[in-house]
Structure 1
Amino acid sequence: MVSPAPAAVVGLGLALPPSASQDDLWRDFFAARYEGATQALAARIFANSGVRTRQAAVSPLLEDVADWPTERRMRRYQVEALPLGKEAVERALTRSGLAARDIGLFVVCSCTGYATPGLDILLARDLGMAPGTQRLFVGHMGCYAALPGLGAAADFVTARGRPALLLCAELTSLHIQPPARRVDTQQIVAHALFSDAAAAVVLAPTSAGAGRPAGSGGYVVREIAASTDTSTADHMTWEVTDLGFRMGLSPRVPQVLSVHVGSLVGDLLARHGLTVAQVDGWAVHPGGPRILNVVQRELGLPDEAMAASRETLAAYGNCSSPTVLLILDRLCRLPSAPRRIVMLAFGPGLTLYAALLTRD
């Protein structure tokens, strides 16, 4: 009996809205939202965020959405997310050498906007996907959504022998909150970190990978693993309010990650006869500098192992679900691309996801 062919990454595509420097965002918009000691606190948080530049489809330097009702924000989401998602998908398809009509499953992840018909239907229409293309929308999972999305797409490829496409598209700029009457450190942190982006990945059976374009990845998805600590469910939240979606981010999140990340990664690698030292590529979701520091310490990683994650945070900010794919793209573009990559992402639950990707 012939074993089913595992799924391989055969195309990656990114799309980024216009960017602004962190210094300009602070000086020209956010600084005026705070006074006295709160302003001093916010200035330190922005300065120590690890972010140098970030993108916004709806830039606060041009439009202040803080008082917009959720309905208005969702209508704007439809306007901005559709072309951004289309750009990312078209780039991924071009790099894969496949056409939209070849896709058997189209997975879309987003926690920053909702509409029906959604991005999955509208993009399938605009890109010319076949009427029989299956679709899956993964909503409100937050920053880790790319990895369960990747897992669903890879499982489809393995089971059906057909290509699949994953798109992660987030517009966090639509959810800037009004100035608080009291000190709200969690909102300050969110306003200092989050950014907009779209990233798409095409997966195909390894047996169908011959002749794909150079630099398209070629990484086989070996396994997706997860660990959720439901006792800390209140540590990270993303609540729908009348004024957009509101982030809750406990300062205890890094401590929870420190308890679980070592066993999650160690067990995943052990199932494939590997150790941490044998992994030469790390794509760690940069929820913030403290989270990267905790992961580095608990896994015993050298500074160079975290470079791609820190550089992505600096250049793009925390883009929620697309971020780990931005790091994967950065690793794939290295002059000497890694042979084994572990991807890590974290989000509400409190949930940790890990993926192992390898190439010959």
Structure 2
Amino acid sequence: MSEAPARGARIGAGQTPLLVAAFVLLSLNLRIVFGGVGPLIPSLELSHTAATVLTTLPPLCMGLFAPIAAGLRGRLGDERSLFAALVVLVLGILLRSVGMFGLFAGTIVASIGVAVLNVITPVLVKKRFPPERIGVMMGVYAMMMGGGAAAIAALSVPIYRASGGSSAIALGVAVIPAVPALLAFATQLKFGPDKGQAVATKRWSGLLRNRTAWSVTGFFGLQSLMLYTIFAWLPTIYVAKDVDRATAGLYLSICVIAVSVGGFFGPSLAGRRADQRLPVLVTAALCFVGIAGVLLAPTGSAPVWAIVLGLGLGAGQGIPGVLYVARTEDRQTAAQLSSMSQTFGYVIAAAGPLLTAALFAASGSWTLPLVVLLALMVVNAVISLPAGRRGVID
């Protein structure tokens, strides 16, 4: 049975600017808190083990804490839950800037906030925007998410140097875009839980036995594994190919920019279709071709493969949001599918950088890790077909 929208919840002409502004600012902040850490790691004087833990914490925590979103929205409603998650995100950013303990503790706190934002944001889109705008809004979501990460990655080192080597300032600058997002979402606090609806009572039991739900989860998980692996190791891979560090970092920046582009166009195009199998296959194919280029092509053509790979990675982050909406009949099921997918998916993603590092250590070359990534994209193309097939989860 379809879930009737709460009275006044569907977007109207008078509330459009405030809602869209809040949504855009929220989306912008979903990866800014993490995007500036990687470039600063050489300056933070961390051991290899500590650096690995720090870069693994975000996807791991986003997976482990995703389930709390369902209970939170059942108590507070979607809009108030998102506001609360933004408060946690701001607190995490501030804590992360206070010493070495704060760096790790703040990363965990910020990741908890982002975990809730990740799960509920697609549900908000299903609730507050007309069906014909869902694909575009999820495209905006993924584009702003990637754009925020790209911007902070480019600015973190210059800010660190301009501040006289202050990691607190370089990391704390992420609070600047987070506060406007918090203030913008304060305008949506009038929307509470839907009356008479137990939005958080449905368990995962049904979804855990559903092939389509696992297909969506597999698609998101393998695409996220690829994303976090490339973000962690792409410059190192090119340095091993005798590319200087600055140029290798530039290749990653090009890839991140392409992630923003793919993040917009992937879900925008997928949202126009009742069947998303073609966009899903194209996404996996772009990642496969991009990785093959990194592995086999001359380093002079690296920007081309960075762009191809980035387009696939970006689409792979945005299209799952469309699938959460397209494969479900009501917001309750959409929230559960989003939570299930991200709980398992981010745990899978957290294993990516660790797996590739282990394969590199065992083989002494990046060839084996890249071949494994190619194989995973073939697997992804096969297991993700049910996720794109027209219809809704029973």
Task: Report the TM-score, using the length of structure 1 for normalisation.
Answer: 0.33
- Higher helix share goes to which structure? 2
Task: Report the TM-score, using the length of structure 2 for normalisation.
Answer: 0.31
- Higher strand share goes to which structure? 1
